[in-house]
Every structure is written in structure tokens, then in C-alpha cells.
A and B are shown apart, each in its own frame.
Chain A
Amino acid sequence: MPIELTRRDALSALTAAGITSTAGCAGFSDRTADASPMETLVGVADVLYPSEVEVTEEFIETFMFGRITDKEVYRERLTAGIETLNELATNEFGSAFLGLAPDERVSLFEETALRSGDSVHDGGDIEQVNYHILDELLFAFYASPKGGELVGNPNPRGFPGGFGYNPGVTQ
């Protein structure tokens, strides 16, 4: 049974972080005739995250964007990054990223510098996709209880899950 990343997961994180409003995130899930940036992010997260995880918009909207401070600046980086992704997808498979079949999306990661290349804040196009999109998505997941629980750590570093966690150890 897939583990669904729900809004509740995200909100519990935000509550713990003292962030009470997600205002400013709504624009990312606006659906237009074209694919929204959020749909692409969900598609990318599906590749990045373990297969047992079912990615939801709410999780990304809240967990990832909830921890991005300069949302306007980030929106520009995101737009540019998605453009790069779509160019890569078109060059490899003749379609924008969301038009690719699941195995084509995986192949795109395997056959380009996505993930395997450098990740640079102000680097080249793919380097920036690695930094601003893929690394942010990985932080959102692996610094959340959902990601942590998969490796036995419900309060991974970077997540404000309260202090003093000690489940007791028995040797």
C-alpha cells in the first residue's frame, strides 16, 4: 500500500516550525490550460522519491514551498528550471516532461546530468535544476517525518519535530 504524503503531514511540520500560514503558495497549484509548475514538480518527485510513496501536490506545496522564504525569487528559478527540464525531455523523447511515460522519465534522469551532474546555486542550466528543483524536493522529503520514517528516524535533521527524541535503546 503506497504511503500518501498528505496535507496533514505537511501542516504538522509547519505547525511545529511555527509557520501558521501557507499564504503565497496557492499560485503554484493554479491549474491552467497548460501544465502548472506544481504538476511538473509532482512528476519529478515521483521519480526522485521511493516508489512506495504517492506524491501529492499538498505535500510539495506545503513542505517544499513552506520552507522557501523568498517565494517570488524562487518562482523565477522554478520557471527557468522547468523550462530546462522540458527542453531536456523534448531533446531526448520529443515531449515536455509531463508528456513522458514513467520509464521515459526515469531514462531522462539516467541519461542526462540530472542528479549525476553538479548541483550549483548559480551554475549552468542543468546545474541549477539540480540545485533549485531536485535538491529542494529531496530536502522536502528527507527532512520530513515521512522520509525519515523510511529509515527509522521520524525526526530527521532539518525538521523541527521537537527535541529530546529517544525511543530507548536495547542492545
Chain B
Amino acid sequence: MNETQSGEAQSSENLDRTPVEDADVCVVGAGPAGALLSYSLAKRGHDVVILEAGPRFDMEHRVDRMKLQIHPDRGVNEVWDMGGERDAYSMSGEQDWPLNKRRVKGVGGTSLHWGSVTPRLREKDFEMESRFGVGKDWPISYEDLQPYYARAEQEVGIAGPDNAPHQPPREEGYPMDPLPNSASDDLFAEAAEALDIDVQSMPMAINTGKYDRNQCQGYGTCEHVCPSGAKYTAEVHVEKAEAEGATVLTQTPVQRFEHGPDGEEVTGAVYKTPDGNTHTQEADVFVAAAGAFETPRLLLLSESDQYPDGLANSSGTVGRYFMQHEGALVIGIVPNQETYQGAYGPVVSSGIQQFYEGTAERGGANIMLLNTSDPSLAERAIDSSGFGDDLLETVNLYGNSIGTLNSVEMLPREDNRITLDRSKTDNHGNPVPDVQVEAGEFSEKGTEKAIQVGKDLIEEMGGNVAFVQGTTTDSDEFIEDIKGGYHPMGGTRMGTDPDDSVVDPNLQTHDLDNLYISGGGVFVTGGAANPTLTIMALSLKAADNIHGSLAG
């Protein structure tokens, strides 16, 4: 037993981690890209096995993890035990991201620490080349994905506005009413009205009572820990999949895929176990759902004599056209105005979608209005060296802050890519992923626009802009929260042409009949919407196709 930072013990010895016999589907990764897909297949009678590199975290220690988040001296990576040799990586490009503060390995994956903001992509996001002459069109349209969005929203439990402006067409209402406005939402709305800007409720994967998990209790720490379990994590559908007969093998990092002699099918996923053994999981179908950083790495690590450039890479595009959403943060102080930051609970409840469309020259922006724009009271208290009345005076200096956090579209570029860094290895001797990213003018202009909107709103409410960071900030000056890596997309993109894409519109790889990729990696362009809902919708589409192929 190893005690982790949270005090939660991880048992390494007692679980049976031998391969499942006669598995129909082997899913690599127990995050949002794998969980709903696994459940969808398991409930239709398929034998599913999920191989997860990380552990299963218990609910009992979520409060401890939340306290790690609040403690000023503990890193975000410590909250979910990320880091060390297992999670080693390189960043050799222009941007330097703290990758292990942006992802989680374990049952639930990165949804364990996400903020749970769940907008859909817009119609234009699938047609950037046709409409604006930039990027590339997806091989599917918004309409193709729309029914899967609806299913994903129902499964996950989204609280959102049915009739808000600047949203794509909806076929039915959200499963839950939107979250109520926060105090800062009201302040933004009042200022926005004077500027002809629409403030609207943000779709959030937070249970307000209708779903069979705890209701939101207002810890105010959803990013990066929800101790109550009201925030959706992919644990929900991993557990549902298990209830339908799926098997989850934790702490079983997949090292490579093996293929048959003709190179047309994957025959096994080779994985390690904590006791040092190596096993091979066989199945009829394999789904790589290990996240947009690790999935291309896994394909590249699966190189063979037949596929010297890696598996599913006959196009040479594995790892290429990698994207993120450029972030921008605007914080202001509104004198004599209590803004009740942190008191509300969810980190975001409203946003501005009016500038989502963008232009041919400027990326669209998804502007999120923060309910937690200053450090928590307990964090401020612990971080100070004072005590008694002096400490109270110090922590009470806050209370008037307000802010926006922006997610801005970046165009796909061939040279923004994930490769293997063969000079550095993980705890199993495998080369680590190397991420090379440059923002580009399109997203720089988008962040400038988003920042200007935030500044205008804060000044309209009588506030002073106190802090601004975005793509025009020197990357050395970025505070950690704004360094990139939150929304990784691309790298195994979707397309109809096997010469310039990795998977087809059903997420099946062009090169191998029984290998699918589920995750943000298949995005052709990234839009400005937080990607997880789209990842889940696409995974349901893939699951339907896998079901069809297995039934056939």
C-alpha cells in the first residue's frame, strides 16, 4: 500500500489484473472518451474491458483532495497524484504547459478535475474552411452530431438554458434548468446590458437535484475537486458500465498495440501491472481513449516493421494538427462592491457567447464569467504569515474582485504536433510525449477581442482592470493558471481521405479495421467550446458503429 498526497492508500497487490477472456471490446482509458462509450456497448450485451493507467480514487478522500487544492503550497498536480516518471513529458515548442496540472490519470480521467462547462460546438465549427477559408471542414456536420449531443446531455446531466441566444439549434430542452445567477453574473449582466452584450446561463454538468447523485453542495472547488459528487465525472459511466458487466483493470498502462500478420487488425493491447508483469489483452475491437496527449503517443509507440512510423499513421498525420484553446484571463476590482466570489459554489454559471462566431481573421471566443476570481478565504489565510486580528485584516482586503476566463479558437496547423521525445523515458522505458505548440495570429486576435470585452464590462460597472493575460503576454510571464493545455484537441484527426486524416467519421482508423479512436484528438477544428461534451457525443456515435460492426 502506498499512501498518496491525499492520504488515500492505493492498493497495488490485491486486484486481479489478468486479461479478460473473450472480450468483445478493449477500451484504453477510463475518462470521458471511454466511459460513456463503454457503458453504451456494455448495456447492449458486449463484453467490455477498460484498461486504465491510473488508479480508482475513492469518494471518502475527496475532502482531503479539496484541501490539497486550497492549500497554497500544494500544486494542482498533487490533487490527483499526477507527476513523476509515470507522467513525464517534454514541451519543445513555443509554449510551455504544466501538463500534469491539466490532466488526470485514473477512473474518471481528466473529468475528475474539470470545471464541467459543457457547451456544444456550433454549426460553423464544422465548416470553417467552407465559411471562412481557414482550417478544414469536418466530414460530419452539426446536424450529424446533434442527436448524439442530446443523448450525451441526458446521460451526463447538464443544467443549461433552453432558449438562450447564440446557441446552436436544439431538439429538446436541457435535462435540468440552468444554474441560478451568481452575484457576479448579475453585475456582469447589468454592465452588459448597457453595452448591448448578452450574458446568458452556461451549460454545466452539475447536478441540481434531478440526477441520481448528490446535489451540488456549494464547496466552490469543482475545479479541481468536487467532494460532493454533484459535478459529473466519467466515474459515473464507468460504474454504470461495470454494472452492465464491463471489467475495469486499473493501474494497467498500455504500452503498445500489437497487430496481426496482415496488418489489418489490432490483436492485442500490451499492458503492465504494478507487480511488474506484462499482459496482453485480446479483443475483437480496440478503442484508444487515452486523451489527446497519450493516444497519439500510444500509436507512435506501437510502431512495427510493417508500420515503422507508428500505427494508424499511413497518412503521416498522427500527432499533427494538434490544437488547444488559447486562454485569457481578465480580473478587475470594483470599489465598494462586494462580489461574493467563492460564496456561490460552481466556478462558472454564466457566460457570453456573442463573440463565439469570430471572423475569417479572428478566432471565436467563449467567455466564461468567474464566480471564483480571487483565491479562497482559507487559502489566503494559510498563505499569509499572520495570525489573530492582523490575519483577519489581511484576508479581508479581498472581496471586490470580478473576472472573465476565455477560451479562444486556435486553427489546426500541421507543425503543431505531438511526437516522441526519444531522449527521455517514462517509468516503463517508453519515450515520453513531446508537445510543440504555437498559438498563431488567428487565436491571438481572438484573445485580444475577448480581453477587450472583459475590460469594457469591468469598466462599465465602475471597476478597474487589475490583471490581464492572454496570447499577447510574454509566455514567460504567464501565471500558472493561464499557461495552456486545458483543452487538447487534434493529433488524430477525422476525415474521409486516408491520406490526410487518421480516423473516419465513425472514429474508425483508416488503416486498421478494428481500431477506433475516441477523444478530442479526432477534432478537425476546435471551435471555442469546451470540448468534453463533444468528445462524449462523438464517443456515442463511435459506440453505435462498433455495435453495428460486432452485431454484423
Contacts and interface: CB of A to CB of B under 8 A. Distances in A.
Nearest to A171: B337
Given A135-B71, A151-B392, A158-B70, 11 more contacts: A17-B227, A49-B388, A69-B63, A69-B64, A119-B382, A151-B399, A156-B343, A162-B345, A163-B206, A163-B208, A165-B340
Contacts of A49: 388
B132 interface: no
A98 interface: no
A148 B219 CA distance: 13
Interface of B: 5, 7, 60-61, 63-64, 66-67, 70-71, 73-74, 179-183, 185-187, 190, 206, 208, 214-221, 227-228, 230, 334, 337-340, 342-346, 372, 376-382, 385-389, 391-392, 395-396, 398-399, 461-462
A51 B388 contact: yes
A161 B340 CA distance: 14
Interface of A: 16-18, 47-51, 67, 69-70, 73, 106, 109, 115-116, 118-121, 131, 135, 138-139, 141-143, 147-148, 150-169, 171
A68 to B, nearest CB: 8
Contacts of A69: 7, 60-61, 63-64
Contacts of A155: 218, 220, 342-345
B219 A167 contact: no
Given A163-B346, A165-B343, A151 B395 contact: yes
B378 A162 contact: no
B377 A154 contact: no
A156 to B, nearest CB: 4
A30 to B, nearest CB: 24
17 contacts: A47-B387, A48-B388, A69-B64, A70-B64, A109-B387, A115-B385, A120-B73, A142-B377, A142-B381, A153-B342, A156-B342, A157-B377, A158-B66, A166-B181, A166-B344, A169-B183, A171-B337
Given A51-B388, A166-B344, A158 B67 contact: yes
B382 A138 contact: yes
A168 B381 CA distance: 26
Contacts of B218: 155, 159-165
Contact of B395 (A109, A142, A162, A167): A142
Contacts of A142: 377-378, 380-382, 395
A158 B219 contact: yes
- Interface residue SS majority, chain A: loop
Contact of B377 (A18, A156, A166): A156
Contacts of A153: 340, 342-343, 377, 399
Contacts of A109: 387
A17 B60 CA distance: 12
A150 B396 contact: yes
B388 A106 contact: yes
A55 B73 CA distance: 26
Nearest to B393: A50
Nearest to A166: B183
Contact of A138 (B180, B187, B342, B378): B378
A44 B334 CA distance: 36
Closest 10 pairs (CB-CB, A-B): A163-B345, A157-B220, A160-B217, A157-B376, A163-B218, A163-B216, A157-B342, A142-B381, A142-B378, A156-B377
Contact of B392 (A17, A150, A160): A150
A47 B388 contact: yes
A45 to B, nearest CB: 10
Contacts of A156: 220, 342-343, 376-378
Contacts of A48: 387-388, 391
Nearest to B64: A69
B40 to A, nearest CB: 30
Nearest to A162: B218
